Amino acid sequence: MFALIHKWHRKIGIFAATFLLLLIGTGIVINHSEQIGFNTSYIKQNWLLDWYNIDIDSEPFSFAAGSIRVTQIGNRLYVNDKEIANNIEQLIGLQMINGYFVIAYDHSLLLITKSAEAIEILSGEEGVPSGMKRVGIAADGQLVIEAAHGFYVVDLDELQWHEQNSMQADWSLQSDVPEDVLNILKDKYRGTGLSYERVLLDVHSGRIMGQWGVYFVDAIALLLAFIGLSGIWMWFKRLT
Partner 1 sequence: MFIALLFPLHVFAMGTYMEPEEFLTKTFSGNTPSPEKLWITKDLTRDINEIMGHDLGVVRLRYWDDKQKRAWILEEIGRDKPITVGLVTADNAIQDVKVLVFRESRGWEVKYPFFTDQFNQVQLNNEKELNKHIDGISGATLSVNALRKLARLALYFESVVSSR
Beta carbon nearer to partner 1, 7 or 149? 149
> How far out from the chain centre does Cα 32 lie?
20
Beta carbon nearer to partner 1, 22 or 106? 106
CA–CA gap between residue 52 and residue 42 (Å, rounded): 13
Beta carbon nearer to partner 1, 86 or 164? 86
- Closest distance between partner 1 and the C-beta of residue 200, in Å? 15
C-alpha pair distances (Å), 237 with each of 2, 49, 107, 182, 232 = 8, 52, 71, 69, 9
Q: What residues make contact with partner 1 under the rule CB under 8 A?
A: 34, 39, 87, 111, 117-126, 158-159
Beta carbon nearer to partner 1, 90 or 123? 123
Beta strands in the chain (DSSP E): 61-65, 68-73, 76-79, 82-85, 91-97, 100-105, 108-112, 118-122, 134-137, 143-147, 150-155, 160-164, 170-171
Beta carbon nearer to partner 1, 155 or 218? 155
